[in-house]
Chains A and B, each alone.
Chain A
């Protein structure tokens, strides 16, 4: 890095430049919002969304928390073929297969865990699934935990999620991992 010149070393000039930048944005936005309030069109000021009460519109292609699709009887549609587990670049899916009582279905996951602490939300699992059994359309974006273990979502949790509504808002309650429940 080249050494600082005199102007840069003279601290005050840089501080004032910074303050000027902030103030310029403040006054410009204030002017625009005031102009809009008086009916002027064409200009728009910066917008603050009051998250989490307000949510910005999300793309219908948004990849949110995974869910496992259910059959009509509530059992998972998944046949434990391990395509998602194989394709997952983060190795965050853990499936253990079991024999299904119906030989037409043949295979069923005994365990289906996703470690969201590792997941990179690439959506390859959804692409790879031959049964359309895993989707990332719950609209749930908020899941946090105080421990790594809390980031592991089991088969039963993943099966309980509903798809998001038409506006992209989650219909299932945001899941609380065990270590965050009061």
Chain B
């Protein structure tokens, strides 16, 4: 383990660490564009120059491995002068139209110019003009003039996705990023190049011109798109509702987690938030009688469902939970199932089309909490419940989120089950075929509108936080269940998701020892997963 000094502070780093990472461990930021910890080293931007004692001139920190006894200075007069000159080189052909550029506000050219540039431009010649607004694929659009040729995107497509769509073409100051002939940037992780692009050269076609980034608020969250549980940041626009046609969730960005997704996020997960602000959102509890649906109050809806639960025998009730619900929701529901002795319980509804999977992040199971549902005994196949309903054994069927008519379950069986059961209750965030066939609809908040935890397929419990207010009168599933538990004799002890999680950790061995504090921002493995 080499010991070195960075700006007078001693630090010991693992062998092979470069100077940017070594400086980071003591809180020193070395400015850089082309270096990315997840990619190979290119040494192209020449911005990360530092002074190393006994070397004649500044060296690039990204490609210098920390060695024993090294004395590194990142803020000498010579280093600052070098940085300033490098910034001047980078901006020679840059259009400097920051106000129009979608990257403004999160652009490293802007940030480093304000911190390390601040020179008067000396170029008198016309800037080199290159293609602008070139769509590279379904999600990414290129402005070659703004590019500083750091080659991060090229290395990403070569090293992470191994698809190699991008390259640098032409020579000298006419060099530009582009697609190889006949190719399109359409791999399953293509939008990550937008995140790693330090400037406004690659922007997101979905987000472009929708909201200025300084209007956004962020919340730490977990992608609900599959069982991987990639860590994400939800960017929401609460301040300017006239932007992006009133959609509150502006975009999802990957959040670094060394154990799960590193810096990356698949495109399916990144653009999978559309349902949150969709027109099909359920906003009010509703009752359907004789083909017409009327709005109801929460009190009426809860009294109706609780009345049915109290009146019926355990064999007459069926509940289909969902692996899209959080651990807290499922545990609250488990409490209700145990209290009423509900006999017909399931959680998994097989999808009509099996999900795609790869060897990187994407999992075939498109539910974020299948592992949690299994641990709580709610992972059973819904087929058994539908069959019991079809045999006219059920008087109450409570379905969470699933669209049974868009699943692999045989459609005649589902329609028959929904027809013969006296009371079909649907709890979910968006309307679907099943909700249209239900007698009671209880609107649930979307995952960005509430708190909770998911258990990934690897047994990692991860927290997601509230980013926006629930739409309409929708409530988190745990809160709906808590409100129904009250008239059944279980005093409502939970006013936050965390209260249910505490009870979960106390009573389910797999979750023993976990708390919201311990889970923190990066998640914790389950007790059983930690042992193995």
Contact = CB atoms under 8 A, between A and B. Distances in A.
A98 B100 contact: no
B24 interface: no
Given A104-B132, A106-B132, A106-B133, A94 B99 contact: no
A86 B212 contact: yes
Interface stretch (A7-15, A49-57, A74-82, A165-173): A74-82
A80 B209 contact: yes
Contact of A82 (B132, B208, B212): B212
Nearest to A128: B99
Contacts of B215: 86
Contacts of B104: 81
B106 to A, nearest CB: 14
A96 interface: yes
Identify which of B100, B132, B214 gathers the most chain A CB atoms within 10 Å of its CB.
Answer: B100
Contact of A94 (B208, B214, B242): B242
Contacts of B133: 99, 103, 106
B242 A96 contact: yes
B198 to A, nearest CB: 20
Nearest to B102: A107
Nearest to B209: A97
A14 to B, nearest CB: 53
A81 B214 CA distance: 12
B243 interface: yes
What interface size band does chain A fall in? 10 to 19
A86 B98 CA distance: 14
B100 A79 contact: yes
Contacts of A83: 99
Contacts of A80: 209
B240 interface: yes
Nearest to B210: A97
Contacts of A107: 100, 209
Given A103-B133, A130-B99, A98 B242 contact: no
A101 to B, nearest CB: 10
A132 to B, nearest CB: 12
A162 interface: no
Interface of B: 99-100, 104, 131-133, 208-210, 212, 214-215, 240, 242-243
23 contacts: A79-B99, A79-B100, A80-B209, A81-B99, A81-B100, A81-B104, A83-B99, A85-B240, A86-B214, A86-B215, A94-B242, A96-B243, A97-B209, A97-B210, A99-B133, A99-B208, A99-B209, A103-B131, A106-B132, A107-B100, A107-B209, A111-B242, A131-B99
Top-7 shortest CB links A-B: A81-B99, A103-B133, A103-B132, A97-B209, A130-B99, A82-B212, A94-B242
